[in-house]
């Protein structure tokens, strides 16, 4: 710590000059916009370097490769199936065709996407707090919410890049292997699938961040998030079935209209689970001939030709699901925001 | 007191029913080194957090550099460098990366960051350990890195919460020297909280004694000791060879001297409290009386005694009437101080 003064004289002489420059608007704008970018960059770098992300990346790539292998070996059968109105959508078939040995990629993603979101977010805030970096960070001239937003956005950017590159890889691989040109509709459907997957991961991410604000220990928040995930993937369906059996009347004594009504109620209950929303939406997007997510009556089906829908119509069908996911994400994030802004940050 | 850079007015903070900070009024001038002294849990950290707008006060206002810390924390944080008591860094990154991150967050232009970080690391004596992961850093090294972290933003005010925690004695000396020098040369205001009294005594212009959320006293150390020990600023201890014979006879004569306030004798030592430094006179007196003096020890009340006094007074809830609160306590602590 020798001779600091010589150095500091030079350093601090900058101070009055900055003040005199007297253009607060410019300096304000630059300094307000920059810290957020810096934070996002740092968070992205942190994620990419972390073992956790590498393990998940390997897991997802393996799943992807496995699903692709299965679908490629079944592609010929799927495309030549005369009864399937979707048979001409080669690239969608790549994502969905399976012989039953492995679930298709989008079903896998309803599990793995949740895991990915949880693992990227469960220690977002509490790890910083426990390391003593949170208070140091917040003593910098940054807004408190920028930190939360940076955590959310950085993970989302990584997820988006990951899925986009996987899909593009798939399209490219398909082009090389089959030599079939991709249709515009297929491309948009796959793009919508990617966006939907990112949104789904975003939901779990915001839930995990919420829990990381709430709980002081990273392990507690991770376990709670995994608990919620397990509840929705395994137990929720069982619970709904139990309720239905014990509360709803016997279907043998119901009219056609009642059966449709109760079926809709059951479906609505099931759709409280985010994974159900995601599966519904991706199925509709990747299988153009799916026209409704609920039961259809005979009157509705009458005269319908089993043909694929346009992209716009498919998106219209899944719009409630998309807004449901969006709303759930927004609620979690808003709650995290609310708790974090009023939180005592001392350790 | 025109150019107060930190003004706290009626600052109050409740945690539930616990009053952590109680109606605090404090002004710290630009360029001053102010020491906030207090035992653990006195509310020092809470006060500091409120100055930075990191904790919302339950009442009162904190103004730093002319900005209200609660409503405009960003402007305050641009001017103030804060080093928390348990300073932490991202373990997965090197010290250099940690510091660069903070530099960028503070809007230091990208092309300057490298150069500035490097010089800062050398300044705090971490030049050789710059590219080590911070997980490999010792407590003292982290503390130095924390100082670099504060200084890299060129603050006008530096707030250090227990800054000397975990640094070895030489390091502490250098650290405090550096802080003092910065304050003097650059006119940086420094607020440091501590319970290491003699360290604070070394560097601070003024101190505030903070107990149970209340600022019991503030001022420079000399003034504080004068206020408290107006009656008995000096304590002279004289040790003689033989056990003292009958004391009453000369005790009365001693007490007749102007400055002498109190005489206590036990065994072969005599303790004399006096308002002025009259040690030579006392020695002469005892020599004339024919005592064989083995040792003379004279002490002025320092911060430790001041602190102790305030702290005890507060415990007995007798802040203003320290005198009556106990000859017993006073003589007790005088013995303990030896």
Distances (CA, A) of A205 to A119, A150, A202: 8, 12, 5
d(CA B190, CA B204): 9
Which CATH superfamily includes the segment(s) B4-219? P-loop containing nucleotide triphosphate hydrolases (3.40.50.300)
- Closest Cα partner for A329 from A95, A114, A27? A114
d(CA B151, CA A110): 48
CB pair distance less than 8 Å for B149 and A136:
yes
pLDDT (0 to 100) of residue B214: 84
Q: How many Å is the Cα radius of gyration of chain B?
A: 24
pLDDT (0 to 100) of residue A179: 86
**What's the rounded mean pLDDT across residues A244-264?**
81
By residue count, chain B amounts to 338
pLDDT (0 to 100) of residue A300: 67
CB B210 within 8 A of CB B39: no
Distance in Å, alpha carbon of B116 to nearest chain A alpha carbon: 9
Residue A2 within a domain: no
CB pair distance less than 8 Å for A12 and B186:
yes
Of B74, B88, B177, the CB nearest to A133: B88
Dump strand ranges (E) for chain A: none
The token pair at A306 is 């089993």
Instruction: Give the SS3 label for residue A97.
Output: coil
> In terms of DSSP bridges, do strands B33-37 and B59-64 run parallel, antiparallel, or are they unpaired?
unpaired
Per-domain residue ranges for chain B? 4-219, 229-337
Residues 101-140 of B with CB under 8 A from A: 101-102, 104-107, 116, 119, 123-125
d(CA A71, CA A86): 15
Instruction: Give the SS3 label for residue A177.
Output: helix
pLDDT (0 to 100) of residue B230: 58
* Mean pLDDT by groups of 10 residues along chain B of 338 residues: 81 87 89 86 87 89 90 90 89 91 89 90 87 89 89 90 82 84 86 81 84 82 68 76 72 78 79 80 83 81 68 52 40 43
Q: Which residue has the higher pLDDT, B197 or A108?
A: A108
Of B45, B91, B106, the CB nearest to A140: B106
Q: Which domain holds residue A234?
A: 38-341
Q: Which residue has the higher pLDDT, B99 or A342?
A: B99
Residue with tokens 């346009």: A310
CB B90 within 8 A of CB A131: yes
pLDDT (0 to 100) of residue B19: 86
pLDDT per residue as tens digits for the range A24-74: 444 444 444 478 899 999 999 999 999 999 999 999 999 989 888 888 888
Of A15, A131, A139, the CB nearest to B82: A139
Q: Provide the number of structural domains found in chain A.
A: 1
- The percent of residues in chain A predicted with pLDDT above 90, rounded, is 37
**What's the rounded mean pLDDT across residues A326-346?**
89
Residue A16 within a domain: no
Residue A314 within a domain: yes
CB A234 within 8 A of CB A111: no
Q: What is the CATH number of domain B229-337?
A: 3.30.70.100
Q: Among A155-169, A251-265, B315-329, whose mean pLDDT is lowest? A: B315-329
Distance in Å, alpha carbon of B294 to nearest chain A alpha carbon: 44
- Closest Cα partner for A44 from A122, A147, A155? A155
Residues 16-55 of B with CB under 8 A from A: 45-46, 49, 52, 54-55
- Closest Cα partner for B210 from B35, B57, B62? B35
pLDDT per residue as tens digits for the range A165-220: 999 998 898 889 888 888 888 899 999 999 999 999 999 999 999 999 999 999 99
* Angle at alpha carbon of residue A327, lines to A229 and A134, rounded to 5°: 70
CB pair distance less than 8 Å for A141 and B149:
no
Q: What is the dihedral angle through the alpha carbons of A157, A158, A163, A165, rounded to the nearest 10 degrees?
A: 100
- Closest Cα partner for B24 from B39, B12, B34, B35? B12
Neighboring chain A residues of B186 at a CB cutoff of 8 Å:
8-9, 12
Instruction: Give the SS3 label for residue A335.
Output: helix
């Amino acid at each position: 710590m020798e001779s600091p003064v010589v150095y500091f004289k030079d350093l601090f002489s900058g101070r009055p000059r900055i003040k005199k420059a007297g253009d607060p608007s410019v300096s304000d704008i630059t300094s307000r916009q920059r810290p957020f970018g810096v934070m996002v960059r740092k968070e992205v770098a942190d994620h990419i370097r972390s073992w956790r992300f590498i393990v998940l990346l390997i897991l997802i790539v393996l799943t992807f490769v496995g699903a692709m292998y299965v679908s490629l070996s079944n592609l010929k059968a799927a495309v030549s199936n005369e009864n399937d109105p979707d048979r001409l959508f080669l690239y969608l078939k790549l994502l969905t065709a399976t012989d039953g040995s492995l679930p298709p990629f989008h079903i896998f993603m309803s599990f793995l996407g949740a895991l990915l979101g949880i693992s990227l977010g469960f220690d977002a805030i509490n790890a910083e707090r426990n390391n003593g970096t949170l208070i140091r960070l917040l003593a910098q001239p940054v807004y408190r919410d920028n930190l939360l937003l940076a955590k959310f956005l950085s993970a989302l950017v990584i997820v988006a890049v990951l899925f986009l590159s996987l899909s593009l890889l798939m399209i490219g691989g398909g082009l090389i292997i089959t030599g079939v040109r991709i249709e515009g509709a297929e491309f948009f459907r796959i793009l919508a699938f990617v966006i939907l997957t990112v949104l789904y991961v975003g939901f779990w991410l915001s839930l995990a961040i919420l829990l990381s604000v709430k709980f002081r220990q990273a392990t507690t928040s991770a376990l709670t998030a995994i608990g919620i995930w397990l509840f929705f993937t395994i137990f929720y369906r069982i619970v709904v079935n139990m309720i239905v059996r014990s509360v709803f009347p016997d279907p043998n004594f119901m009219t056609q209209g009642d059966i449709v009504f109760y079926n809709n109620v059951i479906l609505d209950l099931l759709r409280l689970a985010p994974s159900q929303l995601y599966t519904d939406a991706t199925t509709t997007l990747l299988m153009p001939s799916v026209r409704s997510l609920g039961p259809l009556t005979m009157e509705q089906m009458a005269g319908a030709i089993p043909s694929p829908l346009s992209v716009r119509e498919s998106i219209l069908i899944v719009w409630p699901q998309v807004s449901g996911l969006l709303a759930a994400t927004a609620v979690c994030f808003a709650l995290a925001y609310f708790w974090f802004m009023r939180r005592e940050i001392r350790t | 007191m025109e150019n107060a850079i930190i003004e706290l007015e009626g600052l109050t903070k409740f945690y539930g029913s616990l009053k952590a900070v109680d109606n605090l009024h404090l002004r710290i001038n630009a360029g001053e080194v102010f020491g906030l002294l207090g035992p653990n849990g006195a509310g020092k950290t809470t006060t500091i957090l409120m100055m930075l707008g990191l904790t919302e006060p339950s009442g009162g206002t904190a103004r730093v550099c002319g900005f209200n810390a609660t409503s405009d924390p960003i402007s305050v944080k641009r001017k103030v460098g804060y080093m928390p008591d348990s300073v932490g860094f991202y373990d997965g990154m090197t010290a250099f990366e940690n510091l660069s991150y903070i530099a960028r967050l503070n809007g230091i232009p990208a092309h300057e960051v490298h150069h500035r970080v490097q010089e800062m690391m050398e300044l705090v004596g971490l030049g050789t350990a710059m590219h080590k992961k911070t997980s490999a850093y010792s407590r003292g090294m982290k503390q130095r890195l924390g100082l670099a972290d504060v200084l890299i933003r060129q603050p006008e005010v530096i707030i250090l919460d227990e800054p000397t925690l975990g640094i070895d004695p030489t390091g502490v000396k250098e650290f405090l020297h550096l802080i003092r020098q910065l304050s003097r040369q650059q006119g940086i205001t420094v607020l440091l909280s501590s319970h290491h009294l003699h360290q604070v005594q070394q560097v601070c212009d003024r101190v505030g004694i903070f107990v149970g959320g209340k600022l019991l006293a503030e001022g420079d150390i000399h003034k504080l000791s004068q206020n408290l020990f107006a009656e008995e600023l000096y304590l002279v201890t004289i040790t003689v060879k033989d056990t003292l014979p009958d004391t009453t006879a000369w005790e009365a004569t001693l007490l007749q001297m102007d400055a002498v306030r109190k005489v206590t004798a036990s065994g072969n030592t005599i303790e004399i409290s006096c308002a002025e430094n009259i040690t030579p006179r006392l020695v002469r007196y005892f020599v004339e009386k024919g005592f064989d003096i083995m040792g003379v020890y004279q002490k002025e009340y320092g911060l430790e005694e001041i602190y102790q006094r305030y702290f005890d007074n507060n415990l007995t809830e007798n802040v203003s009437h320290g005198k009556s609160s106990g000859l017993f306590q006073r003589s007790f602590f005088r013995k303990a101080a030896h």
